[in-house]
């Protein structure tokens, strides 16, 4: 008897379901749209989940080839220390002094670069400081370069005072920059020091997060507190042997 009841249910519901699936709808075309919407959400969620992992994965080759540091962002406390130091030393810089003799707008002619700019946060911070005519980031990792470029693209205030280039820092010439920021790691610091020594002009400033540049004389470093380990160098005084 029960079996018969079940049979009846099956035979009465199947045509209805068939009808629904044939039309692709319960009321109108909602299920099809829902499927597309779900696929879109699934794709977006997957991309958002995978992208940071991809960024970390892609930051490994330069490390293995001893061409740069893995991706580690500079957090806000460290940025505050960095830019406090930069502001203080830019105002004392010989370069600024030379420029002030030529123009009233001296501070707005300064150029900032971050070597290995990651997601662009340090470049954006430099732009917000309002002391640089241009803040530039060089980044080798395509995923991080895309993140920085998208953020720049959707924020009009950064359109004219920032630029990002997907390039190897070793293939750039740093001659035009007045303030150079780097968050490297120990195996590259000595070689980086030689590059900076050859390319930077007198009066330029180098700020190195965490790692010191071997053989250079530091002008300012914050070895205490939250933002400890920011080393600031003046060119050419930093080349005087310690
Ligand atoms: C420690 S992270 C610093 C990121 C960013 N400057 C910050 O402070 O938030 C170092 C960055 O350098 C990049 N990098 C490593 N080797 C590089 C190279 N040869 N040329 C350009 N960028 C490089 C890495 O992909 C990574 O994003």
Extract the tokens encoding 166.
């997907």
Sheet holding 179-182, edge to edge: 162-166, 134-139, 111-115, 179-182, 205-209, 230-234, 220-222
Which long-range contacts does 38-44 make (Cβ < 8 Å, 24+ apart)? none
Q: Are 178 and 111 in contact (CB under 8 A)?
A: yes
Atom of ligand 1 nearest to the CA of 144: 27
Q: How far is the CA of 242 from the centre of ligand 1 (A)?
A: 28
Torsion of Cα atoms, 57 then 61 then 63 then 65, to 10°: 170
Name which of 181, 182, 183, 148 is nearest 163 in CA terms: 148
Tokens of 47: 């991309």
The two structure tokens encoding residue 71: 């991706």
Q: In a mutational test of the pocket of ligand 1, which residue from 56, 67, 69 has the highest number of ligand atoms less than 8 Å from its CB?
A: 69
The tokens for 84 are 């406090």
Cα(82)–Cα(236) distance, integer angstroms: 20
pLDDT at 206: 97
What lines the ligand 1 site, CB under 6 Å? 59, 62, 67-69, 71-74, 114, 116-118, 121-122, 138-141, 144, 168-170, 183
Q: What is the pLDDT of residue 93?
A: 64
Q: Which element (helix H / strand E) includes 63?
A: helix 60-64
Q: What is the percentage of the chain residues whose pLDDT exceeds 90?
A: 55
Q: How confident is the model at residue 34 (pLDDT cuts 50, 70, 90)?
A: confident
| 39-73 per-position pLDDT tens digit | 777 777 776 677 777 777 777 788 887 888 899 99
Residue extent(s) of CATH 3.40.50.150 domains in the chain:
76-239
Q: What is the DSSP letter of 177?
A: -
**Which carries the bigger pLDDT value, residue 28 or residue 81?**
81
Mean pLDDT of the chain: 82
pLDDT of residue 43: 74
pLDDT, tens digit, 9 for 90 and up, residues 221-242: 776 666 578 999 999 999 986 5
CATH T-level fold of 76-239: Rossmann fold (3.40.50)
Residue 64 or 26, more confident: 64
Residues in the chain: 242
Tell me: pLDDT of 90 over 90.
Answer: no
């Amino acid at each position: 008897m029960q079996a018969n009841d079940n049979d009846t249910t099956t035979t009465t519901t199947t045509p209805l379901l068939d009808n629904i699936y044939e039309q692709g709808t319960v009321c109108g075309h909602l299920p099809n749209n829902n499927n597309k919407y779900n696929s879109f959400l699934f794709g977006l969620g997957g991309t958002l989940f995978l992208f940071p992992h991809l960024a970390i994965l892609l930051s490994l080759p330069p490390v293995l080839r001893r061409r740069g540091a893995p991706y580690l962002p500079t957090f806000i406390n460290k940025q505050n220390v960095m830019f406090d130091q930069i502001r203080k030393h830019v105002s004392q810089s010989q370069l600024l002094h030379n420029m002030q003799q030529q123009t009233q707008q001296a501070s707005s002619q300064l150029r900032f670069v971050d070597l290995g700019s990651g997601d662009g946060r340090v470049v954006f911070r430099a732009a917000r400081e309002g002391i640089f005519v241009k803040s530039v980031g060089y980044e080798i990792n395509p995923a991080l370069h895309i993140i920085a470029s998208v953020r720049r693209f959707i924020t009009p205030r950064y359109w004219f005072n920032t630029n990002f280039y997907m390039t190897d820092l070793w293939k750039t010439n740093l001659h035009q920059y007045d303030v150079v920021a780097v968050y490297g790691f120990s195996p590259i610091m000595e070689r980086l020091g030689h590059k900076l020594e050859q390319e930077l002009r007198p009066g330029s400033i180098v700020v190195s997060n965490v790692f010191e540049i071997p053989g250079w004389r530091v002008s300012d470093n914050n070895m205490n507190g939250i933002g400890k380990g920011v080393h600031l160098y003046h060119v050419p005084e930093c080349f005087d042997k310690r």
